[in-house]
A and B are shown apart, each in its own frame.
Chain A
């Protein structure tokens, strides 16, 4: 597997050779920032297009097919439209908070995005408590949503925001617990290390067998809820609250919420890929050396994207099949079913790890 850190190290020595270290780091930071923003935008466009097409096929439709070949330019047209729209200032809203809210959501999404290990040696934020950091910053998004609902000075957004607060805080517990099971299995909180172990010893979902599969399923449900996507899209619940917490937003401010929703879905998929499906690690069957060698030639980031989009497809499949839950059912699902289950799961994983029953 190609180690990307060779390139980054070479680039760093190149820069420090001609300039002081602080300037080199500054330039590197700028490049990374550019990279994140670019990737963010590309992924958002790809995801929105994929969602539209996949949703259409689930619904016996064709989806967008008028703008460009197979409707490929439809998303660009929509982004352009959204950029040209006026950002409406409403009377009686708290303007500062109202304008800040989308950036909170976007910032949370950006920061979590930076935690993802794309390839071997290609991590942006990677340190020994990476999982903690990830969970902590993903919580900032709730603040943005609550602010959006509160500052809009409108009744529908307020209900949506309160729902969202209750929902996100509840489901964060399950996410934390499932991640904890993986940490127990791998013994580290560093994302790059987690993936490296999976490359060495096999994917977590195989290695941890029963508890890992359970954790994966719980993660899928909880992650789906974290992204505010159907069947857990109560904060927006368009048939009840018109558009929930972003009812009063227009133009690009709405666009930020929209972007963040799709990227959060991708981040959810990417995290599932990282901690359960081996991240950038290729598929590996013991004993089939020829096959393994061929798989090893496929670059790591392709593996990573493949797995992440597989999970994203699962999430879309779920979204376009089920009806929406009610708020009390949503909370009872978390507190009465997922929470106890993930607690039992932790004990199970502890037993598995203690007695060395991993595969």
Chain B
């Protein structure tokens, strides 16, 4: 800038300033882009990839698919899932593990999706409820299995109906079948 001569420098500087002023006044008359939340709540859409809060889908008979294997708890990097289970004996004498309580601490969750991918039965998924603010920290710990719910009786192979977790392609995601050994 120093080499320019004095007068020329002034005019060049003025020109750049005017260009700047022109740009800003142009934007002044353009449409504003602010989104009006919460008024636009009804029009907000989120794709199913969005991960806001973990949930355990229950069917109309109040049944879920969780077999309390604890893989999600192991996969979680931040210990935000606690699965409490008990061993029961079924009528035909087999020992079986049953879910008692599925606790999920959304305050600790990193939304990394590892639990959902680890689940062999698609029993959990992320939903699109994004308004998670609460006034009490204790409310961040949620119990995901509904009271009185029980595990869905398997009639077919553990490849269930609910395809909601993610748009799964033809080739299934890895570790779906042989994950159990982990």
Tell whether any CB of A sits under 8 Å from a CB of B in the complex. yes
State how many angstroms separate the Cβ of A359 from the closest Cβ of chain B.
Answer: 24
Name which of B24-32, B53-61, B166-174 contacts chain A. Answer: B24-32
B44 at the interface (CB under 8 A from A): no
A318 within 8 A of B: yes
Q: A322-B20, A337-B10 are in contact. Are A58 and B32 (CB under 8 A)?
A: no
- Cα A160 to Cα B27 with chains together (Å): 32
Q: Shortest Cβ distance from A307 into chain B, in angstroms?
A: 19
Quick one: given A58-B27, A60-B27, are A321 and B32 in contact (CB under 8 Å)?
A: no
Q: Does B34 contact A (CB under 8 A)?
A: yes
Q: Mark B6-24, 1 if CB is under 8 A from A, else 0.
A: 0000100000010011011
Residues of A within 8 A of B28 (CB): 54, 57-58, 317
Q: B156 to chain A: which residues have CB within 8 Å?
A: none
Q: Is A32 an interface residue (CB 8 A)?
A: no
What mask results when residues 52 to 65 of chain A are scored 1 for a CB within 8 Å of chain B, else 0? 00101111111000
The answer on a CB contact under 8 Å between B32 and A318 is no
CB-CB < 8 A to B24: which residues of A?
Answer: 58, 317, 320-321
A317: chain B residues within 8 A (beta carbon): 21, 24-25, 28
Closest to B33 in A: A60
**A residues within 8 A CB of B34?**
60-62
Establish whether residues A321 and B10, one from each chain, have CB atoms under 8 Å apart when the complex forms.
Answer: no
**Nearest CB in chain A: distance from B25 CB, A:** 7
Q: Which residues of A contact B36 (CB under 8 A)?
A: 62
Chain B residues within an 8 Å CB radius of A56: 32
Distance (whole angstroms) from the CB of B144 to the closest CB of chain A: 36
Q: List the A side residues contacting B32 at CB < 8 Å.
A: 56-57, 60-62
**A318 contact set on B, CB distance < 8 A:** 21
Report A264-294 CB contacts with B as 1/0, cut-off 8 Å.
0000000000000000000000000000000
Q: In the complex the two chains form, what is the Cα distance from A62 to B36 in whole Å?
A: 9
Task: Among B20, B30, B33, point to the contact of A321 (Cβ < 8 A).
Answer: B20
- Shortest beta-carbon distance, A336 to chain B, in Å? 8
On chain B, the residues within 8 Å of A337 by CB distance are: 10
**Roughly how many angstroms separate A321 CA and B36 CA in the complex, as a whole number?**
25
Q: How far is the CB of A230 from chain B (nearest CB, A)?
A: 12
CB closest chain-A residue, reference B9? A337
Q: Which residues of B contact A62 (CB under 8 A)?
A: 32, 34, 36
A178, chain B: closest CB distance, angstroms: 17
Contacts of A316-343 to chain B: CB distance below 8 A: 317-318, 320-322, 337
- Residue of B with least CB distance to A66: B36
Residues of the B chain whose Cβ atoms lie less than 8 Å from the Cβ of A321: 20-21, 23-24
**Closest residue of B by beta carbon distance from A54:** B28
* B30: chain A residues within 8 A (beta carbon): 60
Residue of A nearest to B36 (CB): A62
| Distance between Cα atoms of A56 and B33 in the complex (Å) | 11
9 contacts between A and B (CB under 8 A): A60-B30, A60-B33, A62-B34, A62-B36, A317-B25, A317-B28, A321-B20, A321-B21, A322-B17
Q: Which 5 A-B pairs have the closest CB atoms?
A: A321-B24, A62-B34, A60-B33, A321-B20, A60-B32
Where the two chains meet, the residues of A that have a C-beta atom closer than 8 Å to any C-beta of B are 54, 56-62, 317-318, 320-322, 337
What 9 new A-B contacts, CB under 8 Å, besides A317-B28, A320-B24? A58-B24, A58-B28, A60-B27, A60-B30, A60-B32, A60-B33, A61-B34, A317-B21, A317-B25
